[in-house]
């Protein structure tokens, strides 16, 4: 059976691996439009600094990624203990994010009234079950101040999103289900902890887990998958359209080449997939086009350690939108993982742009470095110029799960029933993280094998 996978990011590459693992008889070709595979996983080694141009890790709380790494003979690298210390920049101060109830209620991150408002969460009625944005949910359950200082920067850090335009159910399904099932997050957490003691498993409403990568960066996994696939992976092969031909498909590339297949899996971003499927179904193309991708830039700056006065024993900080700053946050990468900076230097990795400040991400290298340098001076007191600077701009960054996302997925699934042998996957649909992509690829590989026996 001939299968074409369009897209050589982590979704497409891991899908190809799982398909071949489950049935070596599959004749698989992966078509990637760029000169190298990996999508948003891109590790750059420059002047002794190891910069992650996109994804900087995954959480070790879901086994599928760790199992894949083991099969690829990779050694996962868990972040240092320093990474437990996380900060929020609020009211011109870097506040350490409390890690326990006692620390939370003694912290000055929230005002006394803000802390007391959170105590009232036990008395807040559960939602109606109707679609709610993350901002609406957080204000209803935790209050305005907790929303602005805690939930808003968290949403920026994960999705580079605007909580006022993020679907709670699509972005944080576990939290939604917890409230719907138990009526209260705290009641739900207590019930889950009680169950966890019986099973010995760690359970929580949040993502949990430890941030994990590899000594030579996240691209180690891409390189291992690329080596595994060999000639089955074809780069610089930009797909422009997919045609239904009799009982199969023909995939057309921009260079005039075409590939015939019994089944096609589109693992490209939704904004690319919409053009490929337009000849097949204009409605499907239109629905895919509703998924937005605001621009995001990553600015990596290196400094001699002796030139920075403040301690860097932490993960880094996030910035609430209410602060009016121009960055989303900064990770102290060389404090999180080893091998990120030369001896005697540190590497700081700043994100900016996203759903509310997309234009900032497109300013250009020099302006972005100047902007971030100025922000770090105000926030961290770094009043010297960096010794190293590198910028990575994604004009189409992280897909946004806006209100109506679940209905979009239902429409996509319904339309896809008309095209037996064609599938769509990737981080635009059911989870943006590396763990989500790999788990979805595994499930899809199982489904393809069952449907094509």
pLDDT tens readout for residues 169-227: 999 998 888 877 766 665 655 565 566 566 555 444 445 689 999 999 999 999 999 99
Each residue of 46-102: pLDDT tens digit?
999 999 999 999 999 999 999 999 999 999 999 999 888 999 999 999 999 988 878
Question: Are residues 237 and 179 both part of a single domain?
Answer: no
87 in a domain, yes or no?
A: no
91 in a domain, yes or no?
A: no
Q: Work out how many domains the chain is built from and give that number.
A: 3
pTM reported for the whole predicted model: 0.93
62 in a domain, yes or no?
A: no
Closest Cα partner for 406 from 92, 241, 168? 168
Question: Are residues 230 and 280 both part of a single domain?
Answer: yes
Domain final residue, candidates 394, 424, 439: 394
Domain final residue, candidates 142, 169, 199: 199
Measured distance CA(376)–CA(330) in Å, rounded: 9
Give the model's pLDDT for residue 198.
60
| Domain carrying residue 239 | 2-39+219-292+402-451
Domain CATH number, residue 12: 3.50.50.60
Asked if residue 404 lies in contact with residue 167, where contact means CB atoms within 8 angstroms, the answer is yes
Q: Residue 55 is encoded by which pair of tokens?
A: 């994804």
Return the residue matching tokens 């899908």: 15
- In angstroms, the Cα distances linking 245 to 106, 260, 279, 420, 424 are 66, 9, 12, 12, 18
431 in a domain, yes or no?
A: yes
Question: Are residues 310 and 389 both part of a single domain?
Answer: yes
Is residue 217 left, alpha or beta, with left meaning phi > 0 and alpha meaning psi from -120 to 50? left
Domain CATH number, residue 360: 3.90.660.20
Question: Are residues 270 and 304 both part of a single domain?
Answer: no
Question: Are residues 317 and 382 both part of a single domain?
Answer: yes
Question: Are residues 406 and 280 both part of a single domain?
Answer: yes
Question: Are residues 154 and 235 both part of a single domain?
Answer: no
Give the model's pLDDT for residue 453.
73
Asked if residue 56 lies in contact with residue 433, where contact means CB atoms within 8 angstroms, the answer is no
β-pair partners for 318? 88, 329
In 256-332, where does DSSP find H-type helix?
270-277, 282-289
Per-residue pLDDT of the chain (453 residues; tens, 9 = 90+): 999 999 999 999 999 999 999 999 999 999 999 999 999 999 999 999 999 999 999 999 999 999 999 999 999 999 999 888 999 999 999 999 988 878 888 888 999 999 888 877 766 766 676 889 999 999 998 899 999 999 999 999 999 999 999 999 999 998 888 877 766 665 655 565 566 566 555 444 445 689 999 999 999 999 999 999 999 999 999 999 999 998 899 999 999 999 999 999 999 999 999 999 999 999 999 999 999 999 999 999 999 999 999 999 999 999 999 999 999 999 999 999 999 999 999 999 999 999 999 999 999 999 999 999 999 999 999 999 999 999 999 999 999 999 999 999 999 999 999 999 999 999 999 999 999 999 999 999 999 999 877
98 in a domain, yes or no?
A: no
Domain final residue, candidates 378, 394, 410: 394
Give the model's pLDDT for residue 122.
64
Question: Are residues 386 and 419 both part of a single domain?
Answer: no
Question: Are residues 307 and 388 both part of a single domain?
Answer: yes
Question: Are residues 316 and 326 both part of a single domain?
Answer: yes
Give the model's pLDDT for residue 205.
43
374 in a domain, yes or no?
A: yes
Question: Are residues 270 and 191 both part of a single domain?
Answer: no
160 in a domain, yes or no?
A: yes
208 in a domain, yes or no?
A: no
**CB under 8 Å to 156, separation ≥6 — which residues?**
318, 319, 321, 328, 329, 354
Question: Are residues 410 and 286 both part of a single domain?
Answer: yes
């Amino acid at each position: 059976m001939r299968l074409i996978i369009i897209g050589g990011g982590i979704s497409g590459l891991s899908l190809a691996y799982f398909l071949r693992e489950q049935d070596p008889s599959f004749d698989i070709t992966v078509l990637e439009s760029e000169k190298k595979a990996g999508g948003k996983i891109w590790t750059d080694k420059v002047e002794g600094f190891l910069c992650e141009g996109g994804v900087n890790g995954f959480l070790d709380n879901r086994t599928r990624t760790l199992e894949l790494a083991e099969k690829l003979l990779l050694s996962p690298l868990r972040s240092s203990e320093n990474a437990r210390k996380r900060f929020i920049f609020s009211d011109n101060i870097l506040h350490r994010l409390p890690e326990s109830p006692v620390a939370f209620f003694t912290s000055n991150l929230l005002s006394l009234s803000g802390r007391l408002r959170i105590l009232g969460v036990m008395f807040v009625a559960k939602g109606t079950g109707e679609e709610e944005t993350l901002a609406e949910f957080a204000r209803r359950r935790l209050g305005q101040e907790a929303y602005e200082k805690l939930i808003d920067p968290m949403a920026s850090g994960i999705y580079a999103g605007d909580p006022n335009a993020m679907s709670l159910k699509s972005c944080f399904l576990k939290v939604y289900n917890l409230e719907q099932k138990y009526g209260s997050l705290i009641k739900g957490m207590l019930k889950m902890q009680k169950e966890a003691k019986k099973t010995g498993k760690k359970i929580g409403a949040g993502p949990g887990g430890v941030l994990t990568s590899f000594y030579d960066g996240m691209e180690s996994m891409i390189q291992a998958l690329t080596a595994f696939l060999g000639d089955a992976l074809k780069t610089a092969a930009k797909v422009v359209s997919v045609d239904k031909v009799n009982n199969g498909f023909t995939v057309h590339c921009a260079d005039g080449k075409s590939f015939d297949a019994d089944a096609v899996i589109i693992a490209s971003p939704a904004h690319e997939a919409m053009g490929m499927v337009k000849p097949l179904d204009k409605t499907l193309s239109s629905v895919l086009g509703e998924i937005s991708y605001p621009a995001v830039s990553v600015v990596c700056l290196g400094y001699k350690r002796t030139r920075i006065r403040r301690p860097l024993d932490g993960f880094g900080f996030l910035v609430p939108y209410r602060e009016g700053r121009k960055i989303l946050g900064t990770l102290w990468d060389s404090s999180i993982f080893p091998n990120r900076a030369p001896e005697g230097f540190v590497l700081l990795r700043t994100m900016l742009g996203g759903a509310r400040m997309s234009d900032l991400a497109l300013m250009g290298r020099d302006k972005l470095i100047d902007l971030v340098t100025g922000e770090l001076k105000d926030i961290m007191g770094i009043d010297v110029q960096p010794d190293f600077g590198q910028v990575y701009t994604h004009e189409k960054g992280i897909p946004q799960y806006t209100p109506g996302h679940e209905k979009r997925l239902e429409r996509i699934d319904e339309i896809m029933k008309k095209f037996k042998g064609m599938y769509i996957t990737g981080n635009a649909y059911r989870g943006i993280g590396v763990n989500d992509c790999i788990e979805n690829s595994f499930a899809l590989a199982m489904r393809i094998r069952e449907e094509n026996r």
